[in-house]
Amino acid sequence: MASRAKATILDIAREAGVSKSTVSLVLQGSGLIRPETAVKVRKAIEDVGYVYNRGAANLRKAHSNVIGMVINDLTNPFFAELAVGMERVFQAAGVVPFIANTAENPVRQQEVLKSMMEQGVAGLIVSPARGTTPGAFRRIEAAGVPVVFAMRRLPESRIPAIAPDNRRGACLATEHLIRKGHRRLAFFGGSSDLVVYQERLGGFLEACEAFAIPVADRTIVEGETSRKGGMACLETALAMPDPPTAALCFNDAVAFGVILALRKRGLEAGADFAVVGFDDVAEAEHYSPALTSVAVDTAGLGERAAHVMLKMIQSRTTRAEDHIGAVSLVVRESSGPNRNSQVGDAA
């Protein structure tokens, strides 16, 4: 059944009675070929079950048609949504994205990046693993392969990043809680080695300043960015002398954890304690209670990252501007009704 030696364009040329150059031209859809000849060649291609060898072609051609997407945690639906947005754009451009998972492991990340470079990718879209060293992309940059960071950025790096306006999102969410009447606020989850964390925490603190929340009434609990981490954060906070009455969470996973931990204690998110998440994953809307969250337009960011990448490839540059995606607060049940009217919601 399986024809042993795989067919090449020379086999097709023989089959169709033309030269290999003609076959190559047909393969590339050149207009120089007489239509009848093209038909004849295409039939031969079909007959021999020919498979185009892109590796051989890339040996001659300037650039390949594959782009690598290197993602730090594929099990987080958030990144899957990002990937889906990118794929839409790339597909239309005739580019194939290959995805690889680094599982938040910098060593694994280096292996994956090396592999992708060896395959001759035209560009790389990366959501860097936690703990990525600043030098990790030096060789790739030196090779002239464009890199775009998505969602996360590295502390000191000239690589363009596409990310949501974390600071503003956190600020909006915190204001929302303050306007609801909360005066003792918490920020739950994440850790300071992530730039994203610093941005989101920064927005939280900015809003606290603006509304003159005393430092003593701000509770910051670092923790894993998962359900489990969220549960732990709540326990820690409620064990304090003057516990907070509301929390902005690093992301939705943490927020879900907080809601579960509240329920375990017989408390209800929204009624007894206000909870706001970040990212607005698909699940937020269907949770119980529905989660108030900062929407970041994940798929849109993916599309934008893809567009920036295509432009970089086209203009043969390794530089581009950062893009900050707009954010919006989606108010649902988990942040509860107004608490009292200590703070008016004028303006």
189 in Cβ contact with 228 (< 8 Å): no
By CB under 7 A, name the one of 2, 32, 346, 347 that touches DNA: 32
The residue to which tokens 């399986």 are assigned: 2
337 binds, among DNA, a second copy, none (CB under 5 to 8 A by kind): none
Q: Which residue lies nearer to DNA by CB, 25 or 185?
A: 25
Q: Does 288 bind a second copy (CB under 8 A)?
A: yes
Least Å distance, CB 50 to DNA, is 7
Burial label for 115, CB within 10 Å (0-12, 13-18, 19+), is: middle
Tell me if 263 contacts a second copy by CB under 8 A: yes
By the rule CB under 7 A, 317 interacts with DNA: no
Per-position b or e across 329-339, b if 16+ CB within 10 A of its CB = bbebbbbbeeb
If one asks whether residue 260 binds a second copy (CB under 8 A), the answer comes out as yes
Q: Give least dist CB 151 to a second copy, A.
A: 16
Q: Does 74 bind a second copy (CB under 8 A)?
A: yes
Q: Rounded CA gap, 98 and 91, in Å?
A: 12
Measure the CA–CA gap between 77 and 80, rounded to whole angstroms.
5
Q: Which of 80, 238, 324, 343 binds a second copy (CB under 8 A)?
A: 80
Q: What counts of helices (H) and strands (E) characterise the chain?
A: 13, 12
Burial label, 96 (beta-carbon count in 10 A; 0-12, 13-18, 19+):
middle
Using rule CB under 7 A, residue 34 touches DNA = yes
Per-residue binding string, a second copy, 165-194, x by CB under 8 A, is ------------------------------
101 binds a second copy (CB under 8 A): yes
Asked if 92 is part of the footprint of a second copy (rule: CB under 8 A), the reply reads no
Question: CA 323 → CA 157, 161, 167, 173, 209, distances in Å?
Answer: 15, 6, 14, 21, 27
Shortest distance (Å) from residue 100 CB to a second copy: 6
265 binds a second copy (CB under 8 A): no
Residue 92, Cβ density class (10 Å: 0-12 exposed, 13-18 middle, ≥19 buried): exposed
- Contact residues for DNA (CB under 7 A)? 5-6, 8-10, 18-22, 24-25, 27-28, 32-34, 37, 50-53, 56-57, 59-62
